[in-house]
Amino acid sequence: MSDITSSERVLALDDRQLGAAADAAGTGDAARQPIRPAVAQAAQLARAAEGRARDRQHVKGKLTARERLDLLLDTGSFEEVGRFCGGDIQGGRAGAAVITGFGEVYGRKVAVYAQDFSVRGGTLGVAEGRKICRLMDQALSLQVPIVAIVDSGGARIQEGVAALSEYGHIFRRTCEASGFVPQVSLILGPCAGGAVYCPALTDLIVMTRENSNMFVTGPDVIRASTGESISMDDLGGGAVHNTVSGVAHYLGADEADAIDYVRTVLAYLPSNALCEPPTYAYMATRADREVAARLATVVPDNDRQPYDVLDVIRCVVDYGEFVQVHELFAPNAVTGFACIDGRPVGIVANQPNVLAGSLDVDASEKIARFVRLCDAFNLPVVTLVDTPGYKPGAEQEHAGIIRRGAKVIYAYANAQVPLVTVILRKAFGGAYIVMGSKAIGADLNYAWPSSQIAVLGATGAVNIIHRKDLQKAKDAGHDVEQVRAEYAAEYERTTVNANLSMETGQIDAMIDPEQTREVLEDALKLLAGKRRERRTPKHHGNQPL
């Protein structure tokens, strides 16, 4: 972290500019002297404000807004906009409860705003709302990502409806920016009431284990309304929103970890929807071939035996580096960013270690939103399939598996980025169709030799197709399990194997596991020239929500 704060840098620049203006007027040093006391007063005011912020934040185990910006942005790259806007220099108030400006993350420009809890509890009033809206307007003009650091007590009660209206202005701009520039929200303090919808409308939400809270109605209101007693963490803490509600996409161990995650994610995304994602130098080595060869042993021969799909992912991506999104939510599905041959991609996979990789309502929404994110920002989607189907049960039906499962269909069917799918083991029923099948719009589909593709698994199918035969065998005193096994073996030979899908064109090629990385590299190179096309003149579709 730099010894010079961002406010001191800006004030020093203002001082030089004022001096240069006086020299240009031909008045020299004498003309500059009356200005210097005002500049010095402002600089002292800024230093005192940061000192108070440190005193108030550090005792809570929190960083100041400016310290957070120093961690987020490349050293020395922050250019503040409107430092004293909303303040009163003569009255001793340094500025509004939000810091706005531009900086760089890995050398690429981003717009940032950080709410300052040390100033009026970080509450949002008219001055703060206007600063944020102005920054967002500039970000859209410059076509750069927007990062929000949230630490606020909500709307400033003293300003009434005028403060609430500013949230409306921010909501509208967030919606305008959605899908055009990446938007990331860092929740590093309280975020309550209507304020929660500012981050809720953005692409990614990052929270921390401590001090990070989001809720529409707080514990006191709930206690008064329903009599229910609950803590802030249990109601809307980082752990709850990462594991239960799915509102947040990453749980940082602390503020530094959360901020580092944001920097990492931005490295995979383009600055806007009109740009291609950044590419990185990558040179294949002998180690890559050794890692690829391990794929032959990752997936068990027994199709009922679980395994960790992350082992597969790490064998096919550059350096084994995989940045998960929604890691703690719906763990029966895995989503995240990686690079293949230096090109960023989105990875979607079923996780056989959890619920055998079946799709449920939460996994469906997790996959759908991630595919939409990748499609918005030009990241190819690689789908790794191993699923027995949708999770059965009345609970899932009543939770809306029809409506919420349809979101996966909508996401894949409308995606126009390169879509490459590999079936690792099982792909049964409707889950086979929605997980990036050729029928739903995938460009290239591959399967491992041991993969099984069918409406149902062999055992389930036999129980339906041959139920009368099984009953006859039982009545005749035959070994029903042996008869069932014989029927299942015949079903697998004639129906389940992937050769049938190859013959009908649903699978483009059968590949050995150790070929997977090489095949993905070639497929992505082939599809690199894929371009979007507008197939109908419609305004937009009516996505199931």
Give catalytic residues, as residue numbers.
Answer: 193-194, 430-431
Cα separation, 375 vs 348, in Å, equals 13
Q: Among all chains, which residue has been given the structure tokens 């500013």?
A: 166
8, 41, 113, 149, 513 from 66: Cα distances, Å: 11, 20, 10, 10, 49
Please say whether the dihedral angle defined by the alpha carbons of residues 113, 115, 120 and 125, taken in this order, is positive or negative: positive
Cα separation, 293 vs 281, in Å, equals 23
Nearest 5°: phi and psi at 419?
A: -120, 120
Cα separation, 528 vs 342, in Å, equals 13
Q: Which residues contact 288 (CB under 8 A, 6 or more apart)?
A: 517
Q: How many CB atoms lie within 10 A of CB 537?
A: 5
Q: Which residues contact 484 (CB under 8 A, 6 or more apart)?
A: 459, 462, 463, 466, 470
Cα separation, 535 vs 343, in Å, equals 28
Nearest 5°: phi and psi at 541?
A: -80, 170
Question: Are 65 and 80 contacting, i.e. CB atoms less than 8 angstroms apart?
Answer: no
**β-bridge partners, 420:** 382, 444
Burial of 386 (0-12, 13-18, 19+ CB in 10 A): buried
Cα separation, 144 vs 136, in Å, equals 10
The 3-class SS string of 348-406 reads EEECCCCHHHCECHHHHHHHHHHHHHHHHCCCCEEEEEEECCECCCHHHHHCCHHHHHH
Nearest to 331 by CA among 305, 301, 354, 359: 354
Cα separation, 366 vs 360, in Å, equals 10
Nearest to 379 by CA among 407, 350, 410, 420: 420
What is the distance of C-alpha 220 from the center of its chain? 31
Nearest to 335 by CA among 309, 315, 316: 309
Cα separation, 15 vs 35, in Å, equals 9
Q: What is the CA radius of gyration of the chain?
A: 28
Q: How many CB atoms lie within 10 A of CB 169?
A: 14
